[in-house]
Amino acid sequence: MSRYATITVIGRDKTGVVAGVTNLLFKSRANIEALEEQVTRGQFSMTLQASWKAASFDENALGQGLRALGRELGMEIKWWFTDPKRPQRMALMVTREPHCLDAVIEAVNARRLKAEIVAVIGNHRDLQATAEKVGLPFHYVSWTNRAKAEEKTLKILEKAQADFVVLARFMKILSPNFVWRFKNKIINIHPSLLPGFPGPQPYRQAYEHGVKIAGVSAHFVSMHLDEGPIIAQESFRIKPGMTLRQIVAAGQPLEAKALVNGIRLYLTRQLDVHWGVVNQV
């Protein structure tokens, strides 16, 4: 038996951070299985996955060491333990449109997605009844102040022990401060064939540009709007004379389909992100 943990380190960039964390883990007899770090505008971010043989693992000592190291470095260090055999814990973020939320809930209940929904977070209350009807905890977070909203949301995710996040037509932009904490663990659905028509109102952009084929993209969220690695896409033909309303109606079922497929690929570990591109393995 082994113990597994994910560790995140975030703060102002300085020398010795990677060495400090890896040396502490070496002393705890950890096997570092994955490590990714980056610096953006002076902000350091690292995500690390490690494992220990259960017989030689001291969880309390590790926690004390990481807390002390965080204070010494002036960094935020968080960690959580995972069991590869248990279902992944998924949090859903929503606004007002129900079709993606409905599709994910249905796929989980039908066991087509082997995950556990641990929280539904909305910046409006429109979908609260939908979530609570099937026994899911709903958390309303006002998004009038993004920094405070993200801080509250991160606390909800931490308390729920969410492994990854799905933006089920969540219509707000997340800051790098938020995204750093879930590197390649936030899945979004965007209603265009990225990289075409990023940003707001992509169906209207497609309509006004007169494209003949439109579509949707499930992708990982990165620090750059709608530029994260693409996981899955679906497309449809725009027939002559179709109105904007008809284009939206044709695209929404495909949004749900692509999002569920993207989550499925993520859960079955068929994805590998290399230099910003998703490859199926």
Residue 207: phi, psi to the nearest 5? -65, -45
Active site residue 272: no
Count the Cβ atoms, other than its own, within 10 Å of residue 144: 7
The catalytic residue among 13, 83, 126, 226 is 226
Cross-strand bridge partners of residue 235: 215
Number of residues in the chain? 281
Query: Cα(186)–Cα(98) distance, rounded to whole angstroms?
Result: 19
Pairing of β 2-12 and β 76-82: antiparallel
Query: Cα(112)–Cα(114) distance, rounded to whole angstroms?
Result: 6
In contact, 59 and 8? CB cutoff 8 Å:
no
Active site residues: 226
